[in-house]
Amino acid sequence: MINKVVASAEEACRGIQSGMTIMLGGFGLCGIPENCISELVKLKINNLTCISNNAGVDDFGLGFLLQQRQIKKMVSSYVGENDEFERQMLSGELEVDLIPQGSLAERCRAAGAGIPAFYTPAGYGTEVGEGKEVRIFNGKPHILEEALTADYAIVKAWKGDKTGNLIFKGTARNFNPAMAMAGKITIAEVEELVEPGELDPNQIHVPGIFIQKIFEGDSYEKRIEQRTTRKKD
């Protein structure tokens, strides 16, 4: 059996270099690979292309990499919570490819399934569709979108076993499973690492065949992106 367990984020991120394309799972601040992001900041690599649903916030998640000018290009669907992202985009310091959220998810999923491209109506007639092939299906125009892949995919799971099988919890399932299958090399950090056979096979969201490195992380903050409360009656 291949030993996929590494001791830390430092060992897991060994091999990631400047100029690479990296997928980072999560949705908002939920299910993001906090330990690996911190390690990428320490490595001081730059000119990265990051594929992520969003860009974190100013002082958390990918916001740390943006602060250090380590990201050259962001491929995302939503970026509204990060003032530094907005500043860099408007000033021309940061390349941005904004993709409809469903298209972003499917472009990642398609890569993991071995599908090179697909047609979708989302984005037709907008800047998203400019320069892309158009075909008519059932009387409706669709644009051709290509699958997204990356040199590394970095995901964060609730539980995993030492062979790489992963279980995600709640909202963390939005992008993590698709990205885990789309990277050429996939790193998984987990809240709890268990022995093979301890996970219920019926509950596994990503089979271990897609994972090359796995480790048990620590110090997860699990921040709330926007806390909404009501006044006490």
Q: Where are the domains of the chain?
A: 9-113+149-216
Q: What is residue 149's predicted lDDT score, i.e. its pLDDT?
A: 96
CATH number of 9-113+149-216: 3.40.1080.10
The string of pLDDT tens digits covering residues 141-165 is 999 999 999 999 999 999 999 999 9
pLDDT single digits (tens) 33-89: 999 999 999 999 999 999 999 888 888 889 999 999 999 999 999 877 788 988 999
Distance from C-alpha of 114 to C-alpha of 91, rounded to nearest angstrom: 37
What does the alpha-carbon distance between residue 21 and residue 23 come to, in Å, rounded to a whole number?
7
pTM strictly above 0.85: yes
Give the model's pLDDT for residue 227.
76
The DSSP result for 107-147, as a single string, is HHHHHHHT--EEEESTTTTSGGGTT--EEEETTEEEEEEE-
- Give the pLDDT band of residue 198 (cuts 50, 70, 90): very high
Q: What was the pLDDT predicted at 99?
A: 95
The model's pLDDT over 119-134, given as tens digits with 9 standing for 90+, comes to: 999 999 999 999 999 9
Write down the H helix ranges in the chain.
9-12, 34-43, 63-67, 83-91, 101-113, 176-182
Residue 89 burial (10 A CB sphere; 0-12, 13-18, 19+): middle
How far lies 155's CA from each of 26, 97, 98, 179, in Å? 7, 21, 21, 7
Place of tokens 């995302």: 76
Looking at residue 12, what is its pLDDT? 97
Please give the mean pLDDT across all residues of the chain: 94
